[in-house]
């Protein structure tokens, strides 16, 4: 098998980073934050009925595959995307693509990854909630130029719709408020130890490797700043500062949570105080996305979906 | 001009201290990257910055696993559980997940967690479990509890921030 001359830039988040790396390989210079933004990667969802190791699913980003799916629907892009049932078939297809010098994006379960590459097939077929099912992706066609104006507006519109417009109470701003209400009741309902475990889990999901910090809020702010420069839109820059502020609030929440988890709670550290912080986050993000909605309305010929 | 750490901290709008910890924390030496706002508020990708509350909550998760490992060891020693439970815990699996990996029903896997049924397992089933847990079938039959596949002491020395 011949090697592929592939420039890999380390990124904060997996999917946007892979997307950006693959696009760069095709000769399109797209930063990770930009791929994250126009791919509509930001999200909030609290799903207590999906359990991972007995803890509820909390996500700060869109489901794996969303960014690639959105890219594949943009004009000029086409994406080869395949999901496998058989492990053998998955390995054969991967080798075949690599032998044609095509860099490929793979979706894997993280637990098996330290044993890379021996157990890569194992990781591609990790079971459990949200199993990757051996998905692989590569671009078969990319445009020469990206119409930033349209794609950025589209990406922002997609995230705005999720954050503000969802009728479902576990998603977006409503989801953050719902989590705040539930979090307040954790010590009473679950007992102190289990409540602390749940709390630690929220912080892990928010800050773990792959989020770029602050539950992806900083990465999205980076995208808004980059867009503001590209389009000459100061309104986006304002939204970016507000979102950075919101990311800082998420981190303040995490600091209190970490102190409580470590059993070193200071005066004023309580589940109620943390719930209040989350409500503040929700209020800030509502402001951010309302601002972005106003900006979108001022854009020519773009329908807010 | 290089700005010092404290200039950097004080320039933050909210003044949260972002601690630059060693990269040996939870990632086992693999560098991480995250977005950090610079002095002008511009977000930039910075390498190797691990925020300290992350270590605390990660440590908490490892401690919880340690606690469950100990609990399982005790129950196995008391003859209340089969050694399958131990391997499930150290591989972060529950009966449902193991059932999926081995292509059996959850009830069957649950029964195998009971020593009475586990002792009577056939060679083929033991082989299946052994492959998943990367041990020898003989280990399972003898009830030997191998060490965890990962190091649960990760980040222990850094959890004191």
Cβ atoms of B74 and B65 closer than 8 Å: no
Cβ within 8 Å, pair B33-A12:
yes
- The label of the residue with tokens 């399109």 reads A28
Of B44, B53, B97, Cβ closest to residue A255: B53
Cβ atoms of A34 and A20 closer than 8 Å: yes
Q: Is the pLDDT of residue A77 over 80?
A: yes
B73 touches A at CB < 8 Å: no
What pLDDT digit, counting tens, does each position of A226-255 carry? 999 888 888 898 899 999 889 889 888 988
Cβ within 8 Å, pair A221-B37:
yes
Cβ within 8 Å, pair A221-B35:
yes
Which structure tokens are listed for B7?
Answer: 């200039």
pTM: 0.80
Cβ atoms of A39 and A16 closer than 8 Å: yes
Topology annotation, domain B81-157: 434 Repressor (Amino-terminal Domain) (1.10.260)
| Angle in degrees, CA A196, A201, A207, rounded to 5 | 125
Compute the distance between CA of residue B13 and CA of residue B37 in angstroms, rounded to an integer.
10
Cβ within 8 Å, pair B56-A221:
no
B53 touches A at CB < 8 Å: yes
Of B43, B57, B92, Cβ closest to residue A53: B92
What pLDDT digit, counting tens, does each position of B30-49 carry? 556 777 777 777 777 776 65
Quote the pLDDT of residue B93: 82
Q: What residue segments make up the domains of chain B, in order of their start?
A: 5-55, 81-157
Q: Is the pLDDT of residue B79 over 80?
A: yes
Q: Which residues of A touch B92 (CB under 8 A)?
A: 53, 111
Strands B43-47 and B33-37: antiparallel
CA distances from A192 to A18, B67, B69, B86, B111 (A): 40, 16, 21, 26, 32
B60 touches A at CB < 8 Å: yes
For residues B91 and A188, which has the higher predicted lDDT (pLDDT)? Answer: A188
């Amino acid at each position: 098998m011949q090697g592929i001359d592939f420039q890999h830039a380390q990124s904060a988040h997996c999917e946007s980073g892979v997307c950006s790396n693959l696009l760069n390989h095709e000769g399109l210079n797209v930063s990770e934050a930009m791929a994250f933004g126009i791919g509509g990667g930001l999200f909030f969802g609290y799903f207590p009925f999906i359990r991972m190791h007995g803890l509820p699913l909390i996500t700060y980003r869109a489901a794996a595959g969303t960014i690639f799916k959105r890219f594949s629907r943009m004009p000029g892009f086409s994406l080869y995307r395949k999901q496998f049932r058989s492990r053998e078939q998955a390995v054969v297809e991967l080798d075949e693509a690599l032998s044609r010098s095509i860099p490929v994006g793979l979706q894997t379960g993280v637990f098996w990854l330290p044993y890379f590459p021996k157990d890569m097939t194992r990781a591609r077929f990790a079971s459990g909630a949200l199993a990757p099912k051996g998905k692989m992706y590569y671009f078969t066609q990319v445009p020469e130029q990206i119409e930033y104006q349209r794609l950025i507006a589209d990406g922002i519109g997609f995230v705005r719709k999720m954050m503000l417009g969802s009728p479902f109470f576990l998603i977006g701003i409503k989801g953050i408020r719902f989590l705040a209400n539930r979090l307040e009741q954790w010590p009473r309902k679950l007992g102190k130890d289990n409540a602390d475990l749940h709390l630690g889990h929220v912080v892990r999901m928010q800050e773990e490797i792959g989020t770029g910090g602050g539950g992806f809020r900083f990465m999205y702010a980076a995208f808004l700043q980059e867009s503001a420069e590209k389009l000459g839109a100061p309104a986006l820059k304002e939204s970016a500062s507000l979102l950075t502020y919101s990311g800082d609030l998420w981190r303040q929440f995490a600091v209190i949570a970490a102190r409580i988890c470590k059993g070193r709670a200071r005066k004023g550290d309580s589940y109620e105080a943390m719930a209040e912080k989350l409500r503040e986050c929700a209020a800030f993000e509502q402001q951010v996305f309302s601002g972005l909605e106003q900006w979108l309305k001022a854009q020519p010929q773009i329908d807010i979906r | 001009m290089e700005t010092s750490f404290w200039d950097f901290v004080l320039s933050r709008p909210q003044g949260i201290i972002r601690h630059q910890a060693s990269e040996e924390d939870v990632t086992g030496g693999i560098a991480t990257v995250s977005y950090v706002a610079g002095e002008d508020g511009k977000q930039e990708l910075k390498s190797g910055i691990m925020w300290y509350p992350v270590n605390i909550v990660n440590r908490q998760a490892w401690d919880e696993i340690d606690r469950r490992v100990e609990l399982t060891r005790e129950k196995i020693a008391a003859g209340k559980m089969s050694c399958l439970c131990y391997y499930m815990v150290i591989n972060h699996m529950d009966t449902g997940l193991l059932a999926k990996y081995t292509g059996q029903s959850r009830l069957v896997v649950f029964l195998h967690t009971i020593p009475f049924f586990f002792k009577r397992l056939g060679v083929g089933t033991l082989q299946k479990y052994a492959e998943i847990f990367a041990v020898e079938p003989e280990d399972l039959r003898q009830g030997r509890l191998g060490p965890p596949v990962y190091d649960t002491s990760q980040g222990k020395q850094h959890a004191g921030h």
